């Protein structure tokens, strides 16, 4: 089984206690671990895969809290870094439909420094880039592009999730697209929401968007469609794979559970070529990943709601 290196942010989500209230009126908050790449790392290890988290927290009690959670979930944290800068904090409220409203106080996550000792470990393994705040500059963006270069030169399987957040990129969409393009061009797997696929390609229709993305270079495209399931596209076929029916209470982490479950299954494969040839196998992988995403929506929080292998097989 290959290792999956998940690079990017790990932060505290202070989640408003009164569901359905917005942040300006919320009074009580619960401390939770957050950050898309960290969620993906946990999703993989909860499914008995091998994940390594590469990111930075503050040298403070909140940083310890976060690393402990990853360790409890059996994520390898030996490559995680600590900084003098305080751990990144986000304040989140969840509305009646399970959708999130949030503000950030960015701290240690952007301090991640490039570590050349990782390069050799990328060989024959997988690297997942969950962009989110990484494109906003600082050491993290620099480290990101160097790790990306290493992944390319070491023939790693590269996975990319742009994790677009409108509030972070308002009026700077062009810059976001420009920063994402090199990753999209070289990734084997690209995970997009409908909004991201449209934004990044400038195409409204998914047939056109997928054709554009394949021409750019991505071999496997998945466009997550919430309760409608996932659009799966390769150069050979394109189809929507339905999800299972659930009653969602909080959609946080569904996308991370989905991509984590895909990566775990791909990590058990020897060759990308064989995988790409097999429509049946890819369909099964996405179908299972849909189930992982769906299960995650049935509980509050991200990491604690991620399914175990037993739940997924049930």
Give the total residue count for the chain: 314
Neighbours of 312 (CB within 10 A): 18
Please report whether residue 278 would count as binding ligand ATP according to CB under 6 A. Answer: no
Please report whether residue 133 would count as binding ligand ATP according to CB under 6 A. Answer: no
Q: CB under 6 A: which stretch of 53-61, 85-93, 223-231, 232-240 binds ligand ATP?
A: 223-231
**Whether the Cβ atoms of residue 13 and residue 33 lie closer than 8 Å to each other:** yes
Q: Please tell me the distance from the alpha carbon of residue 200 to that of residue 209, in angstroms, as a whole number.
A: 9
Total residues interacting with ligand ATP, rule: CB under 6 A: 20
**Degrees, nearest 5: CA angle 185-38-98:** 95
Minimum Å distance from CB 314 to ligand ATP?
A: 16
What's the token pair of residue 242? 């339905």
Q: Which is nearer to ligand ATP, 139 or 193 (CB)?
A: 193
Please report whether residue 229 would count as binding ligand ATP according to CB under 6 A. Answer: yes
Q: CB under 6 A: which stretch of 77-85, 120-128, 146-154, 247-255 binds ligand ATP?
A: 247-255
Q: Please tell me the distance from the alpha carbon of residue 11 to that of residue 57, in angstroms, as a whole number.
A: 7
Please report whether residue 290 would count as binding ligand ATP according to CB under 6 A. Answer: yes
Q: Please tell me the distance from the alpha carbon of residue 263 to that of residue 40, in angstroms, as a whole number.
A: 9
Measured between alpha carbons, how far is residue 168 from residues 28, 106, 164, 232, 268 in Å? Answer: 24, 12, 8, 28, 35
Rounded to a whole number of angstroms, the distance between the first and last alpha carbons of the chain is 23
Please report whether residue 258 would count as binding ligand ATP according to CB under 6 A. Answer: yes
Q: Which is nearer to ligand ATP, 160 or 258 (CB)?
A: 258
3-state SS, 60-111, equals CHHHHHHHHHHHHCCCECCCCEEECCCCCEEEEEECCCCCEEEEEECCHHHH
Please report whether residue 262 would count as binding ligand ATP according to CB under 6 A. Answer: no
Q: Which is nearer to ligand ATP, 14 or 122 (CB)?
A: 14
Binding pattern to ligand ATP, positions 134-173, x when CB under 6 A? ----------------------------------------
Q: CB under 6 A: which stretch of 150-158, 198-206, 267-275, 288-296 binds ligand ATP?
A: 288-296
Minimum Å distance from CB 40 to ligand ATP?
A: 10
Please report whether residue 293 would count as binding ligand ATP according to CB under 6 A. Answer: yes
Q: CB under 6 A: which stretch of 104-112, 167-175, 181-189, 219-227 binds ligand ATP?
A: 219-227
Please report whether residue 297 would count as binding ligand ATP according to CB under 6 A. Answer: yes
Question: Residue with structure tokens 């870094």?
Answer: 81
Q: Give CA 123 to chain center in angstroms.
A: 21
User: What are the residues binding ligand ATP (CB under 6 A)?
Assistant: 193, 224-227, 229-230, 243, 246, 248, 251, 253-256, 258, 290, 293-294, 297
């Amino acid at each position: 089984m290959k290792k999956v290196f998940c690079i990017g942010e790990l932060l505290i989500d202070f989640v408003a206690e009164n569901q359905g209230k917005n942040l300006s009126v919320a009074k009580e908050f619960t401390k939770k671990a957050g950050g898309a790449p960290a969620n993906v790392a946990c999703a993989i290890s909860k499914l008995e895969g091998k994940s390594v988290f590469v990111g930075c927290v503050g040298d403070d009690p909140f940083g310890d809290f976060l690393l402990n959670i990853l360790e409890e979930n059996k994520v390898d944290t030996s490559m995680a870094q600590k900084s003098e800068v305080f751990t990144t904090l986000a304040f989140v409220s969840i509305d009646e439909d399970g959708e999130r409203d949030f503000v950030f106080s960015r701290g240690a996550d952007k301090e991640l420094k490039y570590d050349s000792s990782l390069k050799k470990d990328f060989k024959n393994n997988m690297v997942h880039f969950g962009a989110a705040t990484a494109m906003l500059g600082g050491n993290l963006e620099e480290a990101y592009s160097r790790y990306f270069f290493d992944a390319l030169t070491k023939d790693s399987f590269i996975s990319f999730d742009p994790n677009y957040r409108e509030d972070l990129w308002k009026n700077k969409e062009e810059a976001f697209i420009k920063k994402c393009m090199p990753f999209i061009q070289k990734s084997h797997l690209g995970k997009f929401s409908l909004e991201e696929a449209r934004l990044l390609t400038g195409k409204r229709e998914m047939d056109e968007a997928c054709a554009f993305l394949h021409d750019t270079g991505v071999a496997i495209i998945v466009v997550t469609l919430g309760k409608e399931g996932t659009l799966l596209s390769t150069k050979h076929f394109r189809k929507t794979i339905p999800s299972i029916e659930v009653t969602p209470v909080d959609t946080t982490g569904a996308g991370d559970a989905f991509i984590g479950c895909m990566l775990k299954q791909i990590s058990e494969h020897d060759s990308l070529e064989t995988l790409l040839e097999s429509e049946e196998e890819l369909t099964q992988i996405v179908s299972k990943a849909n189930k992982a995403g769906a299960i995650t929506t049935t509980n509050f929080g991200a990491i604690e709601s991620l399914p175990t292998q037993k739940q997924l097989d049930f």
